[in-house]
Structure 1
Amino acid sequence: MPEISILSFFAFCLLIQLYYVLFVHLRLANVSIEEVPLVERKPISVIVCARNEVANLTQYLPSILNQKYHNFEVVVVNDRSWDGTEELLEQMAKEYAHLKIVKILDNDKFIAGKKFAVTMGIKAAKHDWLVFTDADCLPASENWLMSMQQPDNEHTEIVLGYSPYLKKRNLLNALIRFETFFTAVNYLAYALKGMPYMGVGRNMAYKKQLFFKNKGFAAHMHIPSGDDDLFVNAHANKYNTEIRINKDSQVWSNPNTTWAGYIRQKKRHFGAGKFYKSKHKFILSWQIAFQFLFYATFIGSMFLSWEARYVAFGILFLSLLVRCFVYPKLLKRLNYGELRWWFPILDILLFLFLTLNAIFAQFGKKKVTWK
């Protein structure tokens, strides 16, 4: 009876896992990829916040300023930089008339953080459709803004884009890109399912009037992170949100190059997730919990009889078989095609890392940081 109970629970965990694979993520694998629009619709304001980003702005800002879109401005918020960012932006403004600079000075009256910088950029923007990216991001093509422009549907207030990380040849980079892939699959697939719950500030867009109608970040200004995902979580719904995964609509970014930096980033993201809507926390928590229980139960089944072990291996093989049918296709679709050969190994490593990080995130000193 104990063996039957354990194996039955293992099979139940498999069914829950397959629900997320086949009824959520498979939607993204099968959805038709949108074409780049052929005509411009409305003017765009691009918002970029920078703090000591002179090297990245030098390398990447021209690609944003030179987009094939006639009526747009680029608002760069210089948040108290001291590395030469101000001088660089002033020089570039002489060459690009559509570059607008917003300078934030040191002031003890506000909490230093990216949300304040984003708010200042939005206030300075002259157009209603706002496209967001970061200083260290490179548009995949000169048609990026054409892809991220306001849709024909006037009810659409939010567009969620995708931002892959650039490839480096090491384990950390592979793990970061794999984790970014699964995060993207989850939030993009749920948006298709009519339940958008987050977006990434490296590549997303929404209406200025939506921001001010909901008092901006007032509800979570005290939280260090969440200028992107918490805003989307609070205001996105199945009627006002669309996604973009066309290769032209993507924005490439440089990942963390150290384990310490990556761990700090994940702690910050984990902290923001605690403030999601209850239904989103419930769904995401169960998704993680049953993934953990799936592997934990498999390990536990290795202490059972040989017959039970054979059954457990069969359940594990079925899980891998189904997921290897879905995720390699998604990896290729989302520009991580070479990782599909390492899928089973990275899947286990990522799960172990995120589980440990979620535990450690409960400890340590909470500190407000810019990003």
Structure 2
Amino acid sequence: MILLYALASIALINCCYYLLFSKFAFASPSEIVSKKCYPVSVIICAKNEAENLSENIPFILSQEYPDFELILINDASSDNTFDIMEQIAKNDARVKLVNVKNNEAFWGNKKYALTLGIKKSLNKRMLFTDADCKPASNQWLREMSGLLDTNTQIVLGYGAYQKHKSMLNSLIRFETLLTAIQYFAYAKAGIPYMGVGRNLAYTSKLYYDNNGFMSHIQLPSGDDDLFVNETATSKNTAICYSEESFTISKPKTTFKSWITQKRRHITTAKFYKPKHKIALGLYYATNLLFWLLLPVCFALTSWKITLLILAFRLLVQYIIMGKAAQKLKENNLIPFIPFLELFLIWVQLSIFIFNSSAKPTRWK
């Protein structure tokens, strides 16, 4: 019976997290987009992204927004990225360029390049995305920047991935969905902890009042999540999840490249505020323990009670995560949620083990 009590307790903790996620899953779109179009700076930092820039920048420049500039930052690329940037700037006066050379103190550090780009910006409102992203609509800029005002200084958006028929693609999109559900739900609960650089807006005032990225400038990643973790509060943060506000990125096409990317991202989590680390760590740990303990309970205890506990957890999970997935237009992932969760848990555990012995040091 002790095993069953343990399994039931862990499942209850899991369901408490799902109830937290319901703050986003069942939220009504109450955020009001300003009808006034304030000047905005769109900032993109690119390293060896010539092809993606050629493909995606036209979607940025075709936004239905009357007053914005586009800051393109070449972060010491070794391909013809800067040539493409110059060609784009030649054809559109709204485009401004920053060409970053390697610096011994900040070599390979995206934050150094972003800092130079932000300093080039003329506007108080800044919207960030990546070179391999394109807006889902021509209303992206209006939707994201329209929430920035005197009180709201950070807007968290959703960075989706293109859909393909493969196990890897489903796993990438599920991990992205789960991450978004968490940071949206935590923000709705008044405890924002991260955002993604593929779709993130904040004010220059917030940036300069907090000395930019200086508290974590030595780390190769975290220009998005660590900055948000440091500066976001219950009063200055809003979320934007309308379909028109999404960005869409090209996903990795091999497990090796995706794992490398995830290894770099995960290294920043240990620098989150303690309350966030505890909450996120407990969520992962209880998910892992549930799936480890489940087969043991089936083998050594009452399979009927074990099945009942599993069914209850899955029901709560499907209702809440399914609703959230519908909000973020990831409907085709819903039938596979528990299988993708189980697979993702083992991938994350493997990454944690790998990172314990060797950590990635560059953002690209």
* TM over 0.5, shorter chain: yes
Aligned ranges for residues 344-355 of structure 1 at < 5 Å?
344-355=338-349
How far 1:361 sits from its partner (Å)?
A: 2.0
Secondary structure (helix, strand or coil) at the match of 2:194 reads coil
Contact 1:36 1:146 in 2 (8 A): no
C-alpha distance in 2 between matches for 1:343 and 1:223: 33
> Which residue is 1:359 aligned to?
353
1:325 to 316, 319, 329: 319
- Match of residue 196, structure 1, among 188, 192, 196: 192
**How many residues align structurally?**
364
Give the Cα–Cα distance (whole angstroms) in 1 for the partners of residues 264 and 246 of structure 2.
Answer: 24
Q: Indicate if the aligned counterparts of 1:133 and 1:203 stay in contact, CA closer than 8 A.
A: yes
**Distance in 2 of aligned mates of 1:132 and 1:17:** 33
TM-score normalized with structure 2 length:
0.96
Residue 33, structure 1, aligned to residue 29, structure 2: yes
**What does residue 368 of structure 1 align with?**
361
2-side partners of 1:110 and 1:228: how far apart? 17
Aligned residue number for residue 309 of structure 1: 303
Report the CA distance between 1:329 and its aligned residue: 1.8
Contact 1:75 1:121 in 2 (8 A): yes
- Give how far 1:150 is off: 4.3
Asked if 1 retains the 8 angstrom alpha-carbon contact of 2:33 and 2:146, the reply is no
Report what 1:212 is aligned to. Answer: 208
2:10 to 5, 8, 13: 13
Q: Under a length normalisation based on structure 1, what TM-score does the superposition of the two structures give?
A: 0.95
CA distance in 2, matches of 1:176, 1:240: 30
The reply on whether 1:128 has 2:121 as its aligned counterpart is no
Structure 1 residues 113 and 17: CA distance shift in structure 2, 3 A: same
RMSD: 1.5
CA distance in 1, matches of 2:43, 2:166: 32
- What is the alpha-carbon distance in structure 2 between the residues aligned to residue 284 and residue 5 of structure 1? 26
Residue identity in the other structure for 2:335: W
1:30-86 Cα deviation digits (max 9, x unpaired): 111258847333110011001111100000011111111111000000111232122
Partner of residue 100, structure 1: 96
Asked if the contact 1:34–1:246 (Cα under 8 Å) also holds between the matched residues in 2, the reply is no
SS at match of 2:160: coil
Q: Displacement of 1:153 after TM fit? A: 4.4
* Corresponding residue number in structure 2 for 1:174: 170
Determine if contact 2:156/2:201 at 8 Å carries over to the other structure. Answer: yes
- Quick one: distance in 2 between partners of 1:18 and 1:70? 46
Instruction: Say which of 125, 134, 137 aligns to 1:141.
Output: 137
Q: Hey, what's the Cα distance between the residues in 1 that align with 2:348 and 2:174?
A: 12
For residues 155 and 38 of structure 1, what CA distance do their matches in structure 2 show? 13
CA contact (8 A) 1:40 1:69 kept: no
Distance (Å, rounded) in 1 between the aligned partners of 2:81 and 2:350: 37
Q: 3-state SS of the aligned residue for 1:40?
A: coil
Cα distance in 2 between the residues matched to 1:298 and 1:27: 28
- Deviation, 1:112, is 2.0
Structure 2 counterpart SS, 1:274: helix
Is 1:337 aligned to residue 331 of structure 2? yes
Structure 2 residue corresponding to 1:89, chosen from 85, 88, 110: 85
Asked whether the equivalents of residues 40 and 146 of structure 1 are also in contact (C-alpha less than 8 Å), the reply is no
Structure 2 residues not aligned, in runs of 5+: none
Identity %: 41
Asked whether the 8 Å contact 2:24–2:185 carries over to 1, the reply is yes
**For residues 315 and 277 of structure 1, what CA distance do their matches in structure 2 show?**
33
Question: Residues 152-180 of structure 1, C-alpha deviation per residue, up to 9 Å, x if partnerless?
Answer: 64111100000111011111111010010
SS of equivalent residue, structure 2 residue 155: strand
Which of 296, 300, 304 is 1:300 aligned to? Answer: 296
The AA in structure 1 aligned to 2:197 is G
Greater alpha carbon shift after TM alignment, 48-57 vs 206-215 = 206-215
Deviation at 1:359?
2.1
| Paired residues for 1:251-262 under 5 Å | 251-262=247-258
C-alpha displacement at 1:304, in angstroms?
A: 1.0
Aligned to 1:168, what secondary structure does the other structure show?
coil
Contact 2:197–2:224, Cα closer than 8 Å, also in 1 = yes
Tell me if the contact between 2:157 and 2:241 (Cα under 8 Å) persists in the aligned partners.
Answer: yes
Q: Which runs of 5+ in 1 are unaligned?
A: none
SS of 2:74 mapped into structure 1:
strand
Question: In the superposition, relative to structure 1, how do residues 191 and 35 fare at CA in structure 2: closer, same or farther (>3 Å)?
Answer: closer
Structure 1 Cα separation of the partners of residues 311 and 76 of structure 2: 54
Instruction: Please tell me whether the aligned partners of residues 63 and 141 of structure 2 are also in contact (alpha carbons under 8 angstroms).
Output: yes
> Is this contact kept in 1: 2:140–2:244, CA < 8 A?
yes
The amino acid that maps onto 2:232 is: A
Q: Which residue of 2 aligns with 1:268?
A: 264
Per-residue CA distance 1:8-51 (angstroms, 9 max, x = gap) = 111111110110102x1111111112588473331100110011
Match of 1:112 in 2: 108
- Mapped to 2, the partners of 1:152 and 1:250 lie a distance apart of 17
Query: Which amino acid is the alignment partner of residue 5 of structure 2?
Result: S
Aligned equivalents of 2:360 and 2:14: distance in 1? Answer: 35
Moved more, 31-40 or 152-161: 31-40
Measure the CA separation in 2 of the matches of 1:284 and 1:332. Answer: 23
Query: Which one-letter code corresponds to 1:297 in the other structure?
Result: L
